[in-house]
Amino acid sequence: MSIAGETPRAIFPNPFCDPALVALAIETGLLPRDEDEQSLLSDIEILVDDSLPDPDYSASESDDDNATTYTYNSRLLQTRSSQMAPTFAKSIRSSNNKSPPTLTEGKVNPDVLKTWERGCIAYFGQRKVLAGDQVRQVLDSLDNTRTINWVGHRREELAKMNFPDFMNLFRKHALDSDWHLDLKKRLQRRTQGEEEAFEDFANEVCALNTLLVDAPKSSFTHERLHEILLAGAHDNINELYISSELPDKYVAAEWGKLELDVLNNWIINMVKIDKRVTNERKRARRLIEEQNKRSKNGGAGNDNKKTSSDNKENTGGESLDSRSHQGRTRCLEGPPRLLQVQEVLHQSRSEGLQGRFPKGTRHLHQCSGHGCKAGGVEYPEKEGSACRGGGGFIGDLRVGLGGLQGQRLRIGF
């Protein structure tokens, strides 16, 4: 029990509490035979003050006697629950490769280990290190405690190895046994991000496959890589690719001949398609912004009423606004709030909607989703579903407004 104003005490049980140990200590002379002098048998008390090396202790009051207990936590031996998650190692290269790269303390992953390996190879080339001396020169650049212990038991044996054999052995020591399986899953499940360029997506997939080369029978062929990239690309890129002549061009490609660099050429063509889709998206967004500005100014309301009444006379009661000189078709049936649902910019590959739009021209279409027909294109009853017309599907861009943003609106000719 602690008295107010008294220096707190931390009580530790005496290790000689076992009677057998006490008897043995008395027999061997470690403890005096006189009971009055056996002060070591009492519990050990230490004052919790500045004499301790800045201890961390927590105070808690007992419900029974209001006694305060102080628990001393050593900073030298942390409990398992107080330890933080391990940090990851890094590979640090010196300027101009004057010394081998350093693999710092922490958990080693395949990417960091590959970076360290490339740094070592660059150092060997820069300093013209002979094959027999390469491993010996990099053994002391490993700062990971576990690796230092591993090297210390077999330094001479490791120093005699060539560098590729050393890396194979070191990889087994430093990485988890199933590292290649996790990497394969990550590669196969990788998809192109919403705002990610296809080139960046392809570069990461190929980099992951390069890491798998170090695992026997784990890396993918170039043909399989192109299939993974195509499956993970945006839908718009896939559709434009399928409608182009590229599938026929690569159907009989010799993917296995690395000197032909077929995969790299295929990626270059896909990057061009991605840039085309990106430009179309930007153009469509710009047109939508202009449309919104005109709507906010209030000038569009009167034009809509006038054009709608004219179209009712020309189309037998259908509420339809066709502005062929501006290259626009708009479905106006339904409440005004549904007018800003979807807008899609595309290029006509046929003679256009009943001859209104010449082949190759670009025009903007906006649909309220009320089942009416505009220029030969049938708009569905259900809002936000695909719009189809005669002559097949042309293409679509994921540009929308309001709650339907990101959905597709398909227009056919």
Tens of pLDDT along 241-268? 999 999 999 998 999 888 889 999 999 9
Question: Is residue 403 scored above 80 in pLDDT?
Answer: no
From the list 167, 130, 170, the residue with the least C-alpha distance to 148 is 170
Q: Average pLDDT, stretch 315-329?
A: 41
Cα separation values, 159 from 9, 111, 126, 131, 132, Å? 55, 24, 20, 11, 8
From the list 142, 138, 105, the residue with the least C-alpha distance to 122 is 138
From the list 146, 128, 347, the residue with the least C-alpha distance to 240 is 347
Res. 113 pLDDT band, cuts 50 70 90: very high
What pLDDT is recorded for position 86? 53
- Dist. CA 326–CA 116, nearest whole Å: 60
> CB of 197 within 8 A of CB of 205?
no
> CB of 409 within 8 A of CB of 342?
yes
User: What residues are paired with 388 via a beta bridge?
Assistant: 378
Q: Average pLDDT, stretch 70-74?
A: 34
Cα separation values, 243 from 237, 238, 384, Å? 10, 9, 24
Tens of pLDDT along 172-202? 999 998 999 999 999 999 999 988 999 999 9
Which of helix, strand or coil describes residue 158? Answer: helix
Pull the structure tokens for residue 75: 């900073």
What pLDDT is recorded for position 212? 94
What pLDDT is recorded for position 277? 93
The full set of domain ranges for the chain reads: 9-82, 91-174, 179-278, 298-412
The least confident of 8-22, 111-125, 376-390 is 376-390
Pull the structure tokens for residue 66: 């209001």
Sheet containing 377-378: give its strands across: 373-374, 377-378, 388-389
Question: Is residue 301 scored above 90 in pLDDT?
Answer: no
3-state helix, strand, coil in the chain (%, to 5): 45, 15, 40
What pLDDT is recorded for position 98? 82
Compare 352 and 237 and report the one with higher pLDDT. Answer: 237
Q: Average pLDDT, stretch 96-119?
A: 89
Res. 60 pLDDT band, cuts 50 70 90: very low
93: phi then psi, degrees, rounded to nearest 5: -105, 145
Long-range contacts of 273-278 (CB under 8 A, 24+ apart): 273/198, 273/237, 273/240, 273/241, 273/244, 274/197, 274/198, 274/199, 274/233, 274/234, 274/237, 276/240, 277/234, 277/236, 277/237, 277/240, 277/397, 278/197
Q: Average pLDDT, stretch 26-46?
A: 55
Question: Is residue 343 scored above 50 in pLDDT?
Answer: no
Compare 32 and 386 and report the one with higher pLDDT. Answer: 32
> CB of 347 within 8 A of CB of 360?
yes
Question: Is residue 138 scored above 90 in pLDDT?
Answer: yes
From the list 318, 371, 364, the residue with the least C-alpha distance to 342 is 364
Q: Average pLDDT, stretch 63-88?
A: 43
- Dist. CA 343–CA 399, nearest whole Å: 6
| pTM exceeds 0.85 for this model | no
